[in-house]
Amino acid sequence: MIHLNDIQKTYEIGKHPFTVIKGMNLKIPKGEFVAIMGPSGSGKSTLLQLLGGLDSPTNGEIFIEKTNIPSLSEKELTYFRRRNIGFIFQNYQLLPTMTVAENIAFPMEAEGISKSKQKRRTAELVQAVDLEDKINFFPSQLSGGQQQRVSIARALAMNPPLVLADEPTGNLDRKRGTEILNLLDRLHREIGLTIVMVTHDPYAARFAERILLLKDGEIQSDSRLAEGVEDHVMENLLAKLNA
Ligand code: ADP
Ligand code: MG
pTM of the model: 0.93
Specify the ligand 1 atom closest to the Cα of 42.
3
Rounded CA gap, 162 and 129, in Å? Answer: 18
Q: pLDDT tens-digit profile of 144-172?
A: 999 999 999 999 999 999 999 999 999 99
Average pLDDT of the segment spanning 204-216:
93
Residues lining ion ligand 2 (Cβ < 5 A) are 44-45
CA of 3 to the centre of ligand 1 (A): 22
| The CATH number of domain 2-98+143-242 is 3.40.50.300 | yes
State the Rg of the chain over Cα. 18
Q: How high is the pLDDT of residue 236?
A: 79
Residue 88 and residue 45 in contact, taking contact as beta carbons nearer than 8 Å: no
Specify the ligand 1 atom closest to the Cα of 198.
2
Task: Count CB neighbours of 143 within 10 A.
Answer: 12
At 140 the three-state DSSP class reads helix
Average pLDDT of the segment spanning 180-207:
93
Atom 23 (ligand 1) nearest CA: 11
Ligand nearest to the CA of 89: 2
Give the type of residue at 92. Answer: Y
Among 13-17, 82-86, 132-136, whose mean pLDDT is lowest? 13-17
The domain locations on the chain are 2-98+143-242
Helix residue ranges per DSSP H, the chain: 44-51, 74-84, 100-110, 115-128, 144-156, 174-191, 202-205, 230-242
HSE-CB of 86 using CA atoms within 13 angstroms: 27
CA distance to 9, 20, 51, 133, 217, per residue, from 45 (Å): 12, 10, 10, 34, 11
ipTM exceeding 0.90?
Answer: yes
* Confidence at 228, pLDDT banded by 50, 70, 90: low
Atom 19 (ligand 1) nearest CA: 46
- Residues lining ligand 1, CB < 6 A? 11, 13, 20, 38, 40-46
Residue 175 and residue 142 in contact, taking contact as beta carbons nearer than 8 Å: no
Contacts of residue 7, Cβ cutoff 8 Å, sequence gap at least 6: 21, 23, 24, 25, 26, 50, 57, 59, 60, 61, 62
